[in-house]
Each structure stands twice: as C-alpha cells, then as structure tokens.
C-alpha cells in the first residue's frame, strides 16, 4: 500500500494546511537574525596579489595595518598566520568574514614542509571546536574552522611547482582548496587557457583533491546548468586584483591602468574574478561550509576518537590483565 500525497493544490485548501510550509521562512528569519560567518584562507607565495584580491572581493581594505617586510626580514621569516575579521552587511544580512593569511609562505631559503604551520593551524581550529563541542558550554561555540582555502599559483611558472603540489597534497584532506591562477593580466588569453589546462592536468596527475562543486540538480533550469558547467570548467580561476578605481569608457571601475589600456577586474572578458566571487559568495558559500563540517571536520573528529579509544584500551590493558598476550615470566 502506498501513501497518497494530496495534490499540491490541496495546500491552498485551508483544511489540508498544517503550516509547515512556513518552515523555510522560519529558518530564514532565524538565520538572518543570527548572522552568517565565513572563514576564508589565502595561501601561496608572497607577492602574488592575495591581499589585493581579498580587498577586491569584499570591497574593503582588510590590510590597513599590514607591515611589509624587507628582504632581510623575509629570509629569516617563518610562516606566520594572521587573522583579519570584518563585519559586512548587505540588505540587512550580516556576514562576519574572517580572512586567514599566511604571509611569507614559500619565501624562505628552505621551504621544505612550509605547509606544516598552515596544516597545524587548520587542525588547531578543528581541535578547539572538538573540545568546545564535547565540553559543558555548547551553546556559544565560536567556530573558527577554515571553510575554504584559495591557493594562488604563479602565472610565471610552467604549471605547478613542486611546492604547490606538496602544499595542496598536505592540505586537501583538511580544507576545501580552490586553485587560483594569479595576476592573469600578465598573460594573453591563449596563455591563460594553456596554463589552466596544464594545471588541471597536473592536479589530476598528482592526485590532488581540490574542492568539488556539487552536482547540479537535474530539475534546475537550463541557464543555471550552463552557468554551473562554465564554473566547473574555469578551474583554476584566472584572476586580477586591484586596489584602484579607474575610468574606462566613462565608467568608474576597479581596474589596472597600463600605458596601453585598462584591465577591468569585474569584466568577464578580462578574467574570472566575477565567477570566483559569485561562487564564493552567491552560490557555494553554504556548500563550502557543509563540506567542511561533514567531510573535513568529520575526518578529524573520527581520527581523534579513534586515537582516544586506542589510548583508553591500552591504559586498561596496562592496568588490568594487560599481560594476557605476553609470555608469562619464566
């Protein structure tokens, strides 16, 4: 026997209307009230335009108090991780945005394991969350888990460098990696295409698992499907950043002014900046958070519990009858 659903028109009928159709509105109101948070990490060699891009993405100056190091300071610098927090509001919706920066990355003379502090940072946030979650006060947990890592790849190399491969492989189990081809204005369109496909090929060859966009629902409209397809095909996003507003054909736009012309950050014919921003903010922010929670954090949590259980068993064996498997003293 099957359960027969009333036709959807019955919803309009007062008799059949229970009221749970308002659930989405209730959720909506509650989450708007609470506000949203998102933590974005930027990584990659220094000088590739990470801070400029972040400012362009969120139309803020996140790095007012940044101190630039000279060459000598940079030689001895270890990877230092900094956090910038801004509260932005748009049409009554509040977003607390945390940017985690990894300055000096890959700059030292010896760069072996320079991914280590970054991996440790991500793990520490998981650890803190795990502790808070299993502690007494679970109501007001501050969630500092990193939801996405934009990894900047130099436009001047031939594809990925060993450091890039090492970094991404060390981090892909911990965080959603979105690869970025930096400073795309230094390349011609055909160079961009060639670099992109080389990088995609190498990501595949070295078994790097970058963030996978979820499958598009089959009932979405055609436009949405095409847009989704285009998004997936533009990885790694080729971006241009700028802290300047310039005038192009009578309009004021964020761009870079060269003797031979203007490159516009938000012009889709010039780079993938808008695609990246749409993905991060408009279409995939929630999915990035879900994957962080359901996959990356869950992996960490499972490992933690496993090693805790192992320790308990070992301790118990040591205390009571742990000698069972050992040879009795002769």
Q: Point out which residues bind ligand GDP (CB under 6 A).
A: 46-52, 183, 185-186, 240-241
Residue number, 105 or 211, with CB nearest to ligand GDP: 105
Residue number, 270 or 289, with CB nearest to ligand GDP: 270
CB-based closest residue to ligand GDP:
49
Q: Least distance from C-beta 255 to ligand GDP, angstroms?
A: 10
Contact of 108 with 115, CB cutoff 8 Å: no
Residue number, 244 or 313, with CB nearest to ligand GDP: 244
Q: From the CA atom positions of the chain, what is the Rg in Å?
A: 24
Q: Least distance from C-beta 183 to ligand GDP, angstroms?
A: 4
Kindly give, in sequence order, each residue whose CB lies less than 8 Å from that of residue 256, ignoring residues fewer than 6 positions away: 185, 240, 242, 244, 246, 262, 263, 265
DSSP, res 187: S
Residue number, 179 or 241, with CB nearest to ligand GDP: 241
State the DSSP H helix or E strand holding residue 201, giving kind and residue range, or none if neither: helix 189-205
Residue number, 48 or 208, with CB nearest to ligand GDP: 48
Kindly give, in sequence order, each residue whose CB lies less than 8 Å from that of residue 129, ignoring residues fewer than 6 positions away: 141, 143, 144, 145, 297
Q: CA–CA distance from 13 to each of 3, 7, 23, 24 (Å)?
A: 19, 10, 18, 20
Q: Least distance from C-beta 232 to ligand GDP, angstroms?
A: 23
Q: Least distance from C-beta 150 to ligand GDP, angstroms?
A: 11
Helix 116-134 vs helix 298-319: crossing angle, to nearest 10: 70
Closest CA to 240 of 250, 253, 223: 253
Q: Least distance from C-beta 41 to ligand GDP, angstroms?
A: 13
Residue number, 50 or 275, with CB nearest to ligand GDP: 50
* Sign of the alpha-carbon torsion through 10, 11, 13, 19: positive
Q: Least distance from C-beta 211 to ligand GDP, angstroms?
A: 20
Q: Least distance from C-beta 217 to ligand GDP, angstroms?
A: 34
């Amino acid at each position: 026997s099957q359960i027969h659903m009333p036709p959807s028109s019955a919803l309009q009928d007062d008799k059949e209307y229970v009221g749970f159709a308002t659930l989405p509105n209730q959720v909506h109101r509650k989450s708007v009230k609470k506000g949203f948070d998102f933590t974005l990490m930027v990584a990659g060699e220094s000088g590739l335009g990470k801070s400029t891009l972040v400012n362009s993405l969120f139309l803020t100056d996140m790095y007012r108090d940044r101190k630039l190091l000279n060459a000598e300071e940079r030689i001895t610098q270890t990877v230092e991780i900094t956090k910038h927090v801004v509260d932005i509001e748009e049409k009554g919706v509040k977003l607390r945005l945390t940017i985690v920066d990894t300055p000096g990355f890959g700059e030292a003379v010896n760069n072996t394991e320079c991914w280590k502090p970054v991996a440790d940072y991500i793990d520490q946030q998981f650890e803190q969350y795990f502790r808070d979650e299993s502690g007494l006060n679970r109501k007001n947990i501050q969630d500092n888990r990193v939801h996405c890592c934009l990894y900047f790849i130099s436009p001047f190399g031939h594809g990925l460098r060993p450091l890039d491969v090492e970094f991404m492989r060390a981090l892909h189990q911990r965080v959603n990696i979105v690869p970025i081809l930096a400073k795309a204005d230094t390349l011609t369109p055909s160079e961009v295409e060639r670099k992109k496909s080389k990088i995609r090929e190498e990501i595949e060859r070295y078994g790097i698992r970058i963030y996978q966009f979820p499958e598009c629902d089959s009932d979405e409209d055609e436009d949405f499907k095409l847009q989704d397809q285009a998004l997936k095909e533009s990885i790694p996003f080729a971006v241009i950043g700028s802290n300047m507003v310039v005038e192009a054909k009578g309009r004021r736009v964020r761009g870079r002014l060269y003797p031979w012309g203007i490159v516009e950050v938000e012009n889709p014919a010039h780079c993938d900046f808008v695609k990246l921003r749409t993905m991060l903010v408009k279409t995939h922010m929630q999915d990035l958070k879900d994957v962080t929670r359901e996959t990356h954090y869950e992996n960490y949590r499972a490992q933690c519990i496993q090693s805790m259980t192992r320790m308990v068993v070992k301790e118990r064996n040591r205390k009571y009858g742990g000698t069972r498997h050992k040879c009795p003293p002769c």
